[in-house]
Amino acid sequence: MFSLISKWPLVRQIREQKDGTGLESMSDKTRAMHARIDDAQVARSICPYCGVGCGQLIYHKDGKLISIEGDPESPISQGNLCPKGAASYQLLTHSRRELKVKYRAPRATQWTEMSLDRAMDMVAERVWESRKRTFITQENGSTINHTTAICHLGGATLDNEENYLIKKLFTGGLGMVCVSNQARI
Amino acid sequence: MPGLGTSFGRGGATTAQQDLANADCILIEGSSMAEAHPVGFRWVMKAKERGATIIHVDPRFSRTSALADIWIPIRAGSDIAFLGALVRHIIENELFFREYVVHYTNASCILRDDYGDPEDRADGYFSGWNEDARNYSMQSWQYKGEGLSFPERDLTLQDSQCVFQKLKRHFARYTPEMVEKVCGISPALFYKVADTLVKASGPDKTAAICYAVGWTQHSKGVQIIRTASILQLLLGNIGRPGGGILALRGHASIQGSTDIPTLYDILPGYLPMPRGGEEETLQQYLDAHTPKTGLWSNTPSYFISLLKAYYGKHATAENNFGYNWLPKLTADHSFFEYLYDMADGKMEGMFLIGQNSAVGAPNSRLQRKSMAKLKWFVIRDMVETEPARFWRDSAEIERGELKTEEIETEVFFFPAAGHAEKEGAFTNTQRLLQWREKAVDPPGDCRSDAWFIHQLALRLIGKARAARDPIDEPLRALDWWYPEDRFGEPKMEAVLAEINGWKTPVAAATDRGSIEGVLFGGVDREGNHHHEAQIDGYEELKNDGSTACGCWIYSGVFSRDGVNKANSRKSRDYLGHGWGFSWPSDRRIIYNRASARPGGEPWSERKKLVWWDSGNWTGIDVPDFKKDKPPDYEPQNQERGLDGQRGDAPFILHEDGLGWLYVPKGLQDGPMPTHYEPLESPVHNALYSRDTNPVVNWFTRAENRFAPPGDPRFPFVLTTYRLTEHHTGGGMSRFLSHLSELQPEMFVEVSPELDEPEWQNHPSSRGSVSFWRSGPVTRQCCQ
């Protein structure tokens, strides 16, 4: 009983002669509280929006995102993020994000769901067939080895490594020349 | 990119955002930096705190103008007239930085006798105009003599055929009075800008220029950037702390998307794509793209190393390193051209990866209608964006122009992983590669674009191996060696290792025994011997197949020490060395040889960056120059490569090593910028008899019409801008409640003179858009 009363912040204030604005006013519950990132892991990342390239610290635990904050050590952003960068946790977790492959057949009025594997096989088949149909080896007596009937348009939030693989496969492997990017739009 | 590339040599910002803090004046034009690049703008504010003058030139008074010292309202599309007048003012009044201009620019180079300027020719064009083909032959724009490597020069700048005199003549009519007429800027305001810029330049001072898509998205964007480049060269502001031109890229990896392009006409590292006909053989290609002097004299090493990265062991000297497998260009295959192929039903399939062409590309109606002509359409995004549903709820469906039941297009929507769910590097606006670590696995079927391409590649290569068709040879030869994780995603550091470059097994046959610097065990996904040690930089690349390198300008990012420098996170100085990797070779301010006097000592203590000291270039930044080339070096016998350039020639990618006030090669529409009105300008050109840029491809078709200049039906200019809270096509922002609460809807700002009812409908010759008029009305708005 005594210990219960002594935990009461008011009693502590009187006993310790403090004014109640310091640690003495904390309840056990408050004392037990901690930042949600305390025991989280952190990945060092970069904001995906504009070209400034602000540093981000991405806190995560047990495979779940916890929060995204500015990286104070970035020589560019020094911990700052703009409203977009500060909202990027929501970019990854909002409810309208698509999580399934969707397929629309010719003339269909609705999407149908499809497994990732099947969709990949079908896309590979479409590319294969279109390329076969449209590949040109010679034009005006000159070897050109290209197709102009399959095109690519990429955004500029792709990683360099991804762009590298796209160009390598599409141009180096498939002979596609109609390859473009947001950077020229 | 050609604006900066042709002026200085590299298509990238010349400086770093942090370095803006060292500027004595910052001119922001074609950008609302405070709104669109808010965190980068803090460095502008730091400069202001230190006493710099901030100038914002923009038709609209924005957050950027509010924080600037001087706001100059300009008529949209008249930037060349304004900047050109600054060039004239500086030349006429002898205000240029003479020593810098004489030594570091091509002002002194002598032009051919048959070069003609629009000022001197009755037709108002540069020499070489072909009326039938509607293009220029660029022969007469060259320097006198042979090639660009060793031009005749007149260091007094007096020769009537020298670039300086031609530049002076070219801009002679760009007077403050003309600026008032063309741009709507009073002479008083004009002089205020001119005086501020001039006072903030010189040995002890520097001024910087920032621009964004307010320039680049003009039909003449390249020439606007060129005019700014001329201005900065005349003022001596390139390659120096607090100076430079900062291109503000709007997306996380716009710069990266051209360095390692998914563009039709270039390969990684700005190597040109080969063309059919004249570049049918490897030798023809190399002959066409290998100048005698400068860094590009190593084109064979860069290009053959790329072929080795693409085709691995299948690329041999005997088969010209697989040159035949690379497709050849036969026309303009850019997006705007192939869109018409789509509209005509000639395009069978399309990949749209992280882009929203139904919202973010010109003529969105034509975009959506053309999609309905595809046989198949693959789209990858995080949300169902407008292109993903063009077939069911687009405006064209609503209007009855398209009927869902009649659209034959097969649509595949793949959900994409977000930035925290994959690893890889972005290259930001200042050429800085910054790596992102993966935090969590992507949810559901979401996968990275790398996963998608990798899995597609494995399937297609498998098909090619099972077939015998000769057209599948490049697929069979493609070096797809990448190790993968448990989800089947290729290891991104393996791709980065290839981008950096390594020695190939051929070279190692005699050189074995050490595994130092070999990444991923030197083996491919099947465990076969695949590569040797990493190279340390592009200087090590060879043209004999002994090296492979996916992008020569990025070489050094993941070198022999095995450290992924894009992921380094210990910044040691204000330029951020130790944090990320700035191409090329971690140089943060490029062309920095120009930060020292011709003799090698800093221009001033206040503006020192790189200097010559005891036989070496050294300093705060990594020297963008051959480390031991003395400042007084002169080529004696027309040497090749970098040895063919003088010790006071800082622009090492250009054959002559000079900054180009005048561009003798590389631009289709003229060696010097000329003011033409934008394509659909409501007014005629006050400076020249021709309204618009003569070489512009209008892409005109019935469904993509343009209003001619001065068309009375379209008397107003509507410009768009980014808000801090929203991003591009909206796929990354409109779906986020936090951002949509801050900026819930589109609106228009209108001059009070044009005030109309609250709902506004704005037609152009291609479509119309309706907005809610809200927000503050800009009283000073032009036109």
Contacts of B360 in chain A (CB under 8 A): 182, 185
Position B759 scores a pLDDT of 53
Q: How far is A70 from chain B (nearest CA, A)?
A: 11
Cα gap B438→B417, rounded to integer Å:
11
Contacts of B549 in chain A (CB under 8 A): none
Q: Kindly determine whether residue B263 and residue A73, on different chains, have CB atoms separated by under 8 Å.
A: no
Mutate which: A161, A177, A179, vs B, most B CBs within 10 A? A161
Q: In B444-572, which ranges are E strands?
A: 502-503, 547-548
Position B783 scores a pLDDT of 30
Which H helix or E strand runs over A85?
helix A83-86
pLDDT 10s digits, B339-385: 999 999 999 999 999 999 998 888 899 999 999 999 999 999 999 99
Specify the fold of B2-244: Dimethylsulfoxide Reductase; domain 2 (3.40.228)
Position A1 scores a pLDDT of 64
> Where does the pLDDT of residue B762 fall: very low under 50, low under 70, confident under 90, or very high at 90 and above?
confident
Domain boundaries, chain A: 2-32, 41-93, 135-184
Statement: residue A38 has pLDDT above 70: yes
Q: How far is B168 from chain A (nearest CA, A)?
A: 32
Q: Which among B248, B450, B460 has CB closest to A162?
A: B450
pLDDT 10s digits, B285-298: 999 999 999 999 99
Q: Kindly determine whether residue B261 and residue A181, on different chains, have CB atoms separated by under 8 Å.
A: yes
Tokens at residue A79, please?
């911990």
> Where does the pLDDT of residue B30 fall: very low under 50, low under 70, confident under 90, or very high at 90 and above?
very high
pLDDT 10s digits, B519-571: 999 999 999 999 999 999 999 999 999 999 999 999 999 999 999 999 999 99
Q: Kindly determine whether residue B448 and residue A162, on different chains, have CB atoms separated by under 8 Å.
A: yes
> Where does the pLDDT of residue B776 fall: very low under 50, low under 70, confident under 90, or very high at 90 and above?
very low
Q: Kindly determine whether residue B252 and residue A68, on different chains, have CB atoms separated by under 8 Å.
A: no
Looking at chain A, the whole-number percentage of residues with pLDDT higher than 90 is 77
Contact B508, B531 (CB under 8 A): no
Position B764 scores a pLDDT of 82
> Where does the pLDDT of residue A81 fall: very low under 50, low under 70, confident under 90, or very high at 90 and above?
very high
Q: Which residue of B has its CA nearest to A161?
A: B495
Q: Which among A45, A106, A124 has CB closest to B408?
A: A106
Give the dihedral sign, CA B208/B211/B215/B220.
positive
What is the pairing mode between strands A102-104 and B410-415?
Answer: antiparallel
Q: Which among A51, A134, A144 has CB closest to B252?
A: A51
Q: Which among B36, B498, B576 has CB closest to A76?
A: B576
3-state secondary structure at position B149:
coil
Query: What backbone phi and psi angles, to 5 degrees, belong to B466?
Result: -80, -15
* Burial classification of residue B4, based on how many CB atoms lie within 10 Å of its CB (0-12 exposed, 13-18 middle, 19 or more buried): buried
Contact B467, A134 (CB under 8 A): no
DSSP type of residue A23: G
B266 to each of A177, A179, B1, B3, B584, how far by Cα in Å?
10, 10, 12, 16, 18
Looking at chain B, the whole-number percentage of residues with pLDDT higher than 70 is 96
Contacts of B341 in chain A (CB under 8 A): 148-149, 151, 178
Q: Kindly determine whether residue A98 and residue B413, on different chains, have CB atoms separated by under 8 Å.
A: yes
3-state secondary structure at position B455:
helix
Cα gap B474→B446, rounded to integer Å:
30
> What's chain B's average pLDDT?
94
Q: How far is B231 from chain A (nearest CA, A)?
A: 25
B328 to each of A170, B106, B477, B562, how far by Cα in Å?
13, 34, 17, 36
Cα gap B118→B688, rounded to integer Å:
9
Q: Kindly determine whether residue B550 and residue A159, on different chains, have CB atoms separated by under 8 Å.
A: no
Contact B217, B721 (CB under 8 A): no
Q: Which among B273, B418, B460 has CB closest to A124?
A: B460
Contacts of A151 in chain B (CB under 8 A): 338, 341-342, 347, 349-351
Statement: residue B779 has pLDDT above 60: no
The verdict on B261 touching A (C-beta cutoff 8 Å) is yes
User: In the predicted model, what is the mean pLDDT of residues B459-478?
Assistant: 97
Q: How far is B372 from chain A (nearest CA, A)?
A: 10
The verdict on B579 touching A (C-beta cutoff 8 Å) is yes
User: In the predicted model, what is the mean pLDDT of residues B648-664?
Assistant: 98
Three-state SS across B380-438?
EECCCCHHHHHHHHCHHHHHCCCCHHHCCCEEEEEEECCHHHCCEEEECCCCEEEEECC
DSSP string, B640-709: -BGGGS-TT---TTSTT--B-SS-SSS-SS-SS------TT-SS--SSSS--S-TT-----BTTB--PPT
Tokens at residue B721, please?
């801008």
Tokens at residue B775, please?
């927000």
Tokens at residue B489, please?
């995603």
Cα gap B104→B619, rounded to integer Å:
19
How much is the ipTM here?
Answer: 0.96
* Burial classification of residue B702, based on how many CB atoms lie within 10 Å of its CB (0-12 exposed, 13-18 middle, 19 or more buried): exposed
Q: Kindly determine whether residue A111 and residue B413, on different chains, have CB atoms separated by under 8 Å.
A: yes
> Where does the pLDDT of residue A132 fall: very low under 50, low under 70, confident under 90, or very high at 90 and above?
very high
Q: Where in chain B is the domain with CATH 3.40.228.10?
A: 2-244
3-state secondary structure at position A92:
helix
Task: Output the CA torsion B725→B731→B734→B735 (10° steps).
Answer: -120
pLDDT 10s digits, B657-710: 999 999 999 999 999 999 999 999 999 999 998 999 999 887 788 888 888 899
Specify the fold of A41-93: N-terminal domain of TfIIb (2.20.25)
Statement: residue B773 has pLDDT above 80: no
B641 compared with B772, residue with greater pLDDT: B641
Cα gap B496→B395, rounded to integer Å:
42
Position A162 scores a pLDDT of 98
How many Cβ pairs within 8 Å bridge chains A and B?
486
Q: Kindly determine whether residue A185 and residue B737, on different chains, have CB atoms separated by under 8 Å.
A: no
Three-state SS across B6-51?
HHHCCCCCCCCHHHHHHCCEEEEECCCHHHHCCCCCHHHHHHHHCC
| List of residues 6+ apart from B252 with CB closer than 8 A | A46, A47, A48, A49, A50, A51, A53, A156, A157, B419, B426, B428
